[in-house]
Each structure stands twice: as C-alpha cells, then as structure tokens.
Amino acid sequence: MSVEKREARQPWILLSPALTAVTLLLFVPLLFILVYSFWLRTATGADVAGFYLDNWQEALTDPFYRDILISTLRIAAITTVACAVMGYPSAYFIARSQGNKAVLLLLLMLPFWISYIIRTMSWINILGVSGALNSALMALGIISEPIQMLYNEVTVILGLVHFLLPFMILNIFVSLDGIDTNLENAANSLGATKWQAFLQVTLPLSLPGLAAGGLLCFVLGAGTYITPLVLGGPRDAMFANLVFEAIITQLNWPLGSALSLMLLAVLGALVMIYNRYLGMAQLMKGLG
Amino acid sequence: METRFNMGWTLIRGWAVLVYIFMFLPVAVVVLLSFNASQFGNFPMTGFSFRWFVELAGNEAILRAFRTSIILGLLTALISTTLGVLASLALVRYRVPGANAISTLLIAPILVPEVVLAVALLLFLNFLGVNKSFGLLLAGHVIFTLPFVILVVQARLVSIKRDVEEAAMSLGASPVQTFFQITLPLMMPAVLAGALFAFTISFDDITGTLFWKPGGVETVPTQIFAMLRNSISPEINALGTVMIVMTVGLPLLGAVIARAMARKSGT
C-alpha cells in the first residue's frame, strides 16, 4: 500500500470507534423508536409490530398532551428570558471588569460543577415550610404561620434558572470577551454616549453568544423532568415527565416512543433553525 | 457623561453581586444545614454537629451508591476519553473530507434532548435483548459524555505543534514511538481534562440514569432523588456537602494539575 493511501486511511481508523458508538447508540436507536412508535401495545402488555397510527393520533390530538407541550414551551421560554436578563449584566461585568476575570468567571462556573440534583433540592432548604425564608419571616414577626412557597410553576422556573444560568453567562461572556473595546471607544469619540455605544455596537456584536446561551437554556429547560418532580406540584408536569410516565410507569413503550419523537421534533426544529442562521461554531465555543 | 457611566457600572456590579448570591446562597445553606445538630435538618439550627456525616458513613445504601457511581464514572471516563481522543486526533491532525459533518455527527448526542436519547437507547437495547443493567448504564453514559470529551480535547489539541513530532521522526523515531514519547505526553493535559469532564458529567447524571438503571441499583444522584421522596433529611444535606466538595474539589484539583503539567512540558 502506498504511503498516501495509508495516510488517507489513518483518520478513518481513528474515527471509527467514536462513529460506531454514535451510530449504534444514538442514530440506530432513534430510527428504531421511530419504527416502534407505529407499533401497538396491547392490554396484555405484548407489542404488536405493524403500522398503526394510534400512538401518533393520541400524542398529536389529545388536548392533555398538547396543553402540557404548550406549558413546557412556556416554562422554557420564561426560564430563558430570566437567564438572559440575569446573565447578560453579569457576563458584561466579568468581561469588562478590571480585576481578575478568570477568578470571577471560575467563581460563577463553580455552581455549574455542583450536582444538579443537589442544587435543585437546595431550594427546599430555602423555600420549604421550615426553610430559611419562612424561618426568617417568622422570626421577624411578618408571618405567624409558615407559608407553603414550594411545589408550583414559579419554583420549577426558579430551579431551572438556577441550573441553567451558568450556560447563559458563559456563552455571553465568550462573545463579549471577543469584542475589541476599541470599537466602543471609537463610537464614543464619534459622539455616541456610552449607552448608545453599547446599544449600537456591543450589544449587536454579542448577540451570537446570547443566542447560543438562549438555545442551550431553552432546549435543556424544555427537556427536563427532574426539576418538576422535585420542585413542582402534581399539576406542574412537563413534557419529559409524560415520556417518563409512559416508558417507566405505564410501560407503554410505543406511545412513549411517539412522545419522545414529538419532543425531539419540536426541540430539534429549534436547533436546526439556530444552525441555519448562526451555525454550530458559536455553540461549540461556549461548550469547549 | 462620565458619572452616568459610573452609575451604570455600579448598577451592573450590584446586579452581578446579586446573581452571585443567587447562585451560591442555596448551596451555602446546604453546607450550613449539614452541620445542624437538630433532628429535622432544617431551620432553626440548634447547634453544630458532625453527626450526619457519621450517620452517612454508616449508611450502607449510600456507600453502595457511591461505589456504583465511582466505578461507573471511571469506566465511562476511560472509554469515552479513549474514543474521544482518537476521534479528536483524526479531526485535528488530518484533513478529513467532510470534517464538519463528522464533527456535527459526533456532537449529536448533546443536541438530542437527554430524555429522548435515554428512551431510544433503552428501547433499542431492550429489543436486542439487553435489559436494564450496568452495561446499559455504561453505554448510555459513554454516549452522552463523548461530545464533551471531543470538544474539550479538540480545543486543546489545536495548540500542540506538529514540528516537535516531525523533529522526532526525522531523528529516526517510528510513528508509534513518536506517538507514545512525544504526542501523548504533550496531549496529557487535554486527555486528563477530557477524562475529568466525562467523570464529573457521569457522576452527576440523573436524567438518563433513571431510565437505564436496573431495579435496586442506585447511583448517588438517584439515591438522593429516592431519599427526597420522603422528605429532606439532614443526611441529604450532609451527602450534598460531600458531593459539593467532590464535584468542586476534583475539577479544581484537575485544573491545577493540568496547569502544572502544561508548565512543565512547556506548552
């Protein structure tokens, strides 16, 4: 074999284990559940292979699923906006600070490393009936009986924001940090106020980072089922909870497949739109 | 104008401080309450005590969960770092036709919602006759940590120059010798960072794990989740403190080691 041919084959040998893993453990399984979603689960628990539209009909027309899909998207949207509002000034502060940027960033990234389940349950210590807030309010004499502040949609959003904010801040920071501050100075010297310079120069240039952070927050937020289980009430189920219910509790795997693919279609469409207009490179910058 | 800007900057700084407090307060309260002497693990605190850590150390279920999580994390890190490093080498070192498309394929596991990935893998492997098992858990953890390893390793590989390798080869080293004596040591910080990332993500995962774990097997996060069903106990806070020390301490340690090694090897 010639040297050139060997050279050309080498990268494929290096790539083949990872590509095989992704193919066998992701793409083939996804195709499989697409097929599976057309099967039927009978009352006896056996699957009937075939081409039945029953699961899809149920998933797409039952108002129960539609309502939960809409509220899932609403919760994800509110979470994303809250992350942007809380995250942008913080990222700006880190990027433009005179002090040690690396330390400030690391400090904000620390919670990112702390276990998701611990961070989620930590809010029970704050907002629970015998939590910090109730104890403080009672000690101050503002309330005489503890109030139940937990287990509603607001606490689900709170938990999600706490979980996702570092993703937002990191992405905005990466974007802001790459902007030449001379551009702002130039705008100022041409007569723009600081605020105008920010609105017309810095903000537009940092939008890719904001979009990348927003996409991550939205997709991760809309795909969660743990946060609603820990911090939500019985009526705060999100779409991923329906998937979990169908697969783990009811063992209706064909229906669960259809519901999973519905979630994938909705969130996948967002990723595609993002990729079409902004490309994946920005997202990779924030993650890597 | 200058003063208005300063006021703006003060506002931004104040906002950032509030955000830092928001991020850290709940975690700080977990640590604080884990030392609470009170029976009920919540406010008011009645005194300082290590008793919950002592009970934790004697809790067989939690110790088992730790063992499972650590073994799972180590195996996940080993496999996914091996796959990730090989793939990153190919993508950074060779001109591969369609490199962009391949990158996207390899990143796909984080673009698909984890619940969907969990369902697909569970049902497909079940169809092949693989039941919920440690193997399924491992396969799942490998596939969703792989993209992170590839991203981290690729980012650092770019900075390693080929000149050193070419010099070694021109002095008579074989490609294999060059890899093990030159490339691998230079890559070590990237490899360690990738492995650490994989371990941490695996150790923390609950979304996929709840789908894949066999009955009776618990990892640390699923054990905490199961304990939460009853109510929040001081033991959970103590466990939380241990987890915080582990998940924050380990990456910090890793960063320090990586930096020290990078300095030593002069990159």
Yes or no, beta carbons of B143 and A12 under 8 Å apart:
no
Amino acid (one-letter) located at B234 = P
Q: Tell me the per-residue pLDDT of B150-179, one tens digit each, with 9 for 90 and over.
A: 998 988 888 777 788 888 888 988 888 888
Residue B225: list chain A partners with CB under 8 A: 117, 226, 229-230
Of A23-27, A31-35, A85-89, A250-254, the poorest mean pLDDT is in A250-254
Residue A23 lies in a domain: no
Distance from CA of A133 to the nearest CA of B (A): 9
Q: How many CB pairs under 8 A join A and B?
A: 256
Contact assessment for residue A239 and residue A69, using Cβ atoms and an 8 Å cutoff: yes
Three-state SS sequence of B54-76? HHHHCCHHHHHHHHHHHHHHHHH
Amino acid (one-letter) located at A103 = V
- DSSP track, A128-193: STTSHHHHHHHHTTS-SS-----SSHHHHHHHHHHHHHHHHHHHHHHHHHTS-HHHHHHHHHTT--
Strand A40-41, strand A47-48: pairing: antiparallel
- Bridge-partner residues for A41, per DSSP? A47
Instruction: Fill in the DSSP letter of residue A228.
Output: H
The Cα–Cα gap between A152 and A228 comes to: 9
| Structural domain total, chain A | 1
Contact assessment for residue A266 and residue A223, using Cβ atoms and an 8 Å cutoff: no
- Tell me the residue range of the domain where A120 lies: 54-287
Amino acid (one-letter) located at A107 = L
Contact assessment for residue A77 and residue A218, using Cβ atoms and an 8 Å cutoff: yes
Residue A204 lies in a domain: yes
Measured between its terminal Cα atoms, the distance across chain B in Å is: 45
Indicate the residue of B12, B22, B244 with minimum beta-carbon distance to A93: B12
Indicate the residue of B25, B151, B228 with minimum beta-carbon distance to A284: B151
Yes or no, beta carbons of A116 and B247 under 8 Å apart:
no
The Cα–Cα gap between B151 and A287 comes to: 7
The Cα–Cα gap between A231 and A124 comes to: 8
Interface membership of B211 toward A (CB under 8 Å):
yes
Residue A83 lies in a domain: yes
The Cα–Cα gap between A261 and B204 comes to: 25
The Cα–Cα gap between B244 and A118 comes to: 8
Residue A36 lies in a domain: no
- Provide the token pair at A39: 């099967």
How many beta carbons lie within 10 A of that of residue A177, not counting itself?
A: 15
Work out the mean pLDDT of chain A and round it to a whole number.
Answer: 90
Residue A32 lies in a domain: no
The Cα–Cα gap between B205 and B202 comes to: 5
pLDDT score recorded for residue B7: 83
Question: Which residue of B lies nearest to A226 if distances are taken between CA atoms?
Answer: B207
Alpha helices, DSSP H, located in B179-233: 184-204, 209-212, 220-228
pLDDT score recorded for residue B41: 59
Question: Which residue of A lies nearest to B114 if distances are taken between CA atoms?
Answer: A223
CATH number for position A163: 1.10.3720.10
Distance of CA A100 to the CA centre of its chain: 29
| Dihedral angle computed from the Cα positions of residues A258, A261, A263 and A268, in that order, rounded to the nearest 10 degrees | -160
Q: Tell me the per-residue pLDDT of B20-55, one tens digit each, with 9 for 90 and over.
A: 999 999 999 999 988 887 776 566 677 788 888 898
The Cα–Cα gap between B103 and A89 comes to: 33
Residue A5 lies in a domain: no
Cis peptide before B44 (omega within 30 of 0): yes
Given the structure tokens 């005590």, which residue do they identify? Answer: B49
- Bridge-partner residues for A48, per DSSP? A40
CA distances, B88 to each of A142, A179, A253, B82, B168 (Å): 59, 28, 36, 10, 22
Yes or no, beta carbons of B112 and A130 under 8 Å apart:
no
Q: Tell me the per-residue pLDDT of A71-129, one tens digit each, with 9 for 90 and over.
A: 999 999 999 999 999 999 999 999 988 878 888 888 887 877 888 999 999 999 899 88
Distance from CA of B220 to the nearest CA of A (A): 10
The Cα–Cα gap between A39 and A70 comes to: 26
Residue A32: list chain B partners with CB under 8 A: 120, 123-124, 127
Check pLDDT > 80 for residue B10: yes
Residue A110 lies in a domain: yes
The highest-confidence range among A35-49, A137-151, A230-244, by mean pLDDT, is A230-244
Interface membership of B136 toward A (CB under 8 Å):
no
The Cα–Cα gap between B259 and A23 comes to: 35
Q: Per-residue pLDDT averaged across A197-202, rounded?
A: 88
pLDDT score recorded for residue B263: 73
Residue A3 lies in a domain: no
Nearest 5°: phi and psi at B131? Answer: -85, 175
Q: Tell me the per-residue pLDDT of B186-234, one tens digit each, with 9 for 90 and over.
A: 888 889 989 988 998 999 999 999 999 998 899 999 999 999 877 667 8
Yes or no, beta carbons of B87 and A267 under 8 Å apart:
no
